C-alpha cells in the first residue's frame, strides 16, 4: 500500500510543522558534484535507502517547534522540496542542516529570498509556465511537474513520479486567490495526494469566506470603530488589501512601515501576481498608507506582525484596543503573545481568511482529479480517504 511508504513528520493533525518523507529507490547518486537535473541511466544503485522530503516547517506556537526527524534519515535525504517561504513549511531548514541534512534543496527564487535560506546545493526552479506540464527529471528516477498555488510569491505545488508511483503535494493552495496567480490542479492522477485543508470546518468557497470578513469589518467601520489587522509576512497582506479595496472602497486603509516593506519585496516578483492585483497594490501604495497611520486618518490599519511581537506594534495595538478598536486575527494565535491576551480579554476576534483550502475546496479538488488516497493536512483532524471522500464523510 502506498501509505506504508509515507513517513509523516509534521503537518498532519496540526496546523503547521509540515514535513513529509518518502523513500527514493533505486537511487542514482549525483556524479562528481554535478547538478542532478537528469536521471542517469545505468548509474550504480545506492546500498542504503534514500529519501526525498516535502517541506520542513516549524510550529512556532509549540515549545518544541521542529519535526522529529532522526539525523540518520536526514543524512539519507537526497532532495528537500520547499513549497514556499512561510516558517510552518521552511523554518526547520537550518536545524535540519545542523542535524545532518546534506542533500539538494529544490525550490523557487522568491522562497529562497523570503526565507533567508542560503544553501550551496540548491536547484532553483524556473517560474511555472502556467499549465503545470513543465516536467523536471532528477537522479534516482524521480521526476516532477509543478505550478503556482495562489498562496504567496514563489509558492508551488508538486506532482511527483518516483519508482513506486505518483504523489501530488498541494503545499498551501487557494485556486480563487485575489492577488496571486494559481495554476489549477485538475485532471491529474496520483496514488497519493497530500492536500491542503486548513479550513476543515468551513464548507464555503473563498468568496463566501471573504464575504463574511468584509461584512464584519464593514459593520465595525460603520459603527465608527477602527479595525486593526495583524498580518503575516509575504502573502495574506496583499490578499487582504485587494479584498478590502474591492468590497469596502470608501474605507481608508493605513499600513505600518513593516507591512509596506513586505509589500515592496513581493512586488519585486510581479510575475507571481495577477495583473489586476498588481495595479490595485500599486494604487494603494500611491495613497501613502503609512502617512495615514501617522495622522490617524484611517478606518483600517494593517500591521506586518502576525503575533504582535514587535516592540513598535505592541503599544500601538494596546492603545487602539483600549480606545475601542476591533482587532481581527486571521491566523493561528501564539501562546504568550499579545494576540492571545487580546483574544482572552474579548478585544480581538478570529476569522478564517481563505488563504488555504476549505473543506468544500478540498472536496471540489478531489472531484476534479483521480486520487487513489487523499491525506488532508494543515488542520487538527486526522483523516484519510480512499477514493471519493464525500461518501466517507458523515
Q: What is the pLDDT of residues 46-79, one digit of tens each?
A: 457 899 999 999 998 788 899 999 999 999 999 9
3-state class of 221 per DSSP?
helix
- Three cell numbers, residue 265: 519585496
Together in a domain, 136 and 270:
no
Q: Which segments within the chain are labelled E, that is strand?
A: 7-10, 19-24, 50-54, 77-81, 104-108, 122-125, 136-138, 142-148, 156-162, 165-169, 189-196, 227-230, 253-255, 300-303, 326-329, 348-350, 370-377, 385-386
Together in a domain, 170 and 246:
no
Together in a domain, 192 and 217:
no
Q: What is the pLDDT of residues 277-323, one digit of tens each?
A: 999 999 999 999 999 999 999 999 999 999 999 999 999 999 999 99
What pLDDT score does 390 carry?
66
- CB count within 10 Å of CB 358 equals 24
What pLDDT score does 134 carry?
78
What pLDDT score does 373 carry?
96
- CB count within 10 Å of CB 341 equals 15
Is the confidence at residue 180, as pLDDT, over 70? yes
Tell me how far apart the alpha carbons of residues 126 and 342 are, in angstroms, rounded to a whole number: 43
Is the confidence at residue 35, as pLDDT, over 60? no
Give pTM, 2 decimals.
Answer: 0.91
pLDDT tier at 221, thresholds 50, 70, 90: very high
Closest residue by Cα to residue 317 from 328, 330, 308: 308
The predicted model gives 346-365 an average pLDDT of: 95
Together in a domain, 54 and 176:
yes
Tell me how far apart the alpha carbons of residues 116 and 234 are, in angstroms, rounded to a whole number: 13
Together in a domain, 107 and 164:
yes
Together in a domain, 254 and 381:
no
The predicted model gives 190-216 an average pLDDT of: 96
Together in a domain, 95 and 222:
no
What pLDDT score does 131 carry?
76
Whether the link from the prior residue into 106 is cis, omega within 30° of 0, is: no
CATH of the domain at 216: 3.40.50.10890
Strands 165-169 and 156-162: antiparallel
CB 26 within 8 A of CB 140: yes
- Three cell numbers, residue 299: 478606518
Q: What is the pLDDT of residues 124-145, one digit of tens each?
A: 999 998 877 778 999 888 999 9
pLDDT tier at 268, thresholds 50, 70, 90: very high
Together in a domain, 345 and 372:
no
Together in a domain, 318 and 375:
no
Residue with cell 523557487: 108
What range defines the domain where residue 273 resides? 206-350
Q: How many domains does the chain have?
A: 2
Distance set, CA 278 to CA 97, 179, 206, 355 (Å): 37, 7, 20, 18
pLDDT tier at 119, thresholds 50, 70, 90: very high
Average pLDDT, the chain: 91
Together in a domain, 319 and 302:
yes
What pLDDT score does 2 carry?
64
CATH of the domain at 185: 3.60.15.10
Tell me how far apart the alpha carbons of residues 77 and 148 are, in angstroms, rounded to a whole number: 25
Torsion of CA 287, 255, 175, 373, to 10 degrees: 170
Amino acid at each position: 500500500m502506498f501509505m506504508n511508504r509515507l513517513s509523516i513528520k509534521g503537518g498532519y493533525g496540526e496546523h503547521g510543522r509540515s514535513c513529509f518523507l518518502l523513500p527514493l529507490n533505486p537511487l542514482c547518486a549525483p556524479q562528481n558534484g554535478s547538478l542532478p537535473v537528469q536521471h542517469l541511466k545505468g548509474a550504480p544503485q545506492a546500498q542504503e535507502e534514500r529519501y526525498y522530503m516535502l517541506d520542513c516547517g516549524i510550529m512556532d506556537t509549540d515549545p518544541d517547534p521542529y519535526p522529529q526527524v532522526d539525523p540518520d534519515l536526514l543524512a539519507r535525504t537526497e532532495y528537500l522540496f520547499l513549497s514556499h517561504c512561510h516558517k510552518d513549511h521552511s523554518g526547520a531548514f537550518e536545524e535540519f542542516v545542523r542535524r545532518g541534512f546534506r542533500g539538494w534543496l529544490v525550490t523557487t527564487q522568491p522562497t529562497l529570498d523570503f526565507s533567508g535560506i542560503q544553501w550551496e546545493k540548491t536547484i532553483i526552479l524556473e517560474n511555472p509556465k502556467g499549465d503545470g506540464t513543465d516536467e523536471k527529471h532528477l537522479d534516482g528516477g524521480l521526476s516532477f511537474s509543478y505550478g503556482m498555488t495562489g498562496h504567496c510569491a514563489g509558492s508551488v505545488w508538486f506532482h511527483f513520479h518516483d519508482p513506486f508511483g505518483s504523489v501530488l503535494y498541494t503545499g498551501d493552495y487557494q485556486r480563487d486567490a485575489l492577488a496571486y496567480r494559481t495554476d489549477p490542479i485538475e485532471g491529474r492522477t496520483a496514488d497519493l495526494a497530500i492536500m491542503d485543508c486548513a479550513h476543515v470546518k468551513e464548507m464555503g468557497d473563498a468568496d463566501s469566506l471573504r464575504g463574511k470578513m468584509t461584512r464584519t469589518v464593514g459593520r465595525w467601520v460603520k459603527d465608527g470603530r477602527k479595525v486593526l489587522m495583524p498580518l503575516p509576512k509575504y502573502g495574506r497582506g496583499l490578499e487582504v488589501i485587494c479584498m478590502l479595496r474591492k468590497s469596502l472602497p470608501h474605507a481608508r486603509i493605513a499600513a505600518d512601515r513593516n507591512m509596506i516593506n513586505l509589500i515592496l519585496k513581493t512586488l519585486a516578483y510581479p510575475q507571481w501576481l495577477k495583473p489586476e492585483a498588481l495595479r490595485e497594490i500599486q494604487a494603494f501604495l500611491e495613497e501613502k498608507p503609512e502617512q495615514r497611520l501617522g495622522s490617524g486618518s484611517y478606518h483600517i490599519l494593517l500591521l506586518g506582525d502576525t503575533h504582535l511581537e514587535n516592540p513598535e506594534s505592541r503599544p500601538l495595538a494596546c492603545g487602539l484596543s483600549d480606545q475601542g478598536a476591533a482587532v481581527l486575527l486571521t491566523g493561528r494565535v501564539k501562546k504568550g503573545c499579545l494576540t492571545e491576551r487580546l483574544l482572552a480579554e474579548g478585544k480581538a476576534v478570529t476569522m478564517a481568511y481563505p488563504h488555504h483550502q476549505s473543506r468544500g475546496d478540498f472536496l471540489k479538488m478531489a472531484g476534479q482529479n483521480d486520487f487513489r488516497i487523499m491525506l488532508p493536512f494543515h488542520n487538527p483532524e486526522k483523516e484519510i480517504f480512499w477514493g471519493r471522500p464525500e461518501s466517507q464523510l458523515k
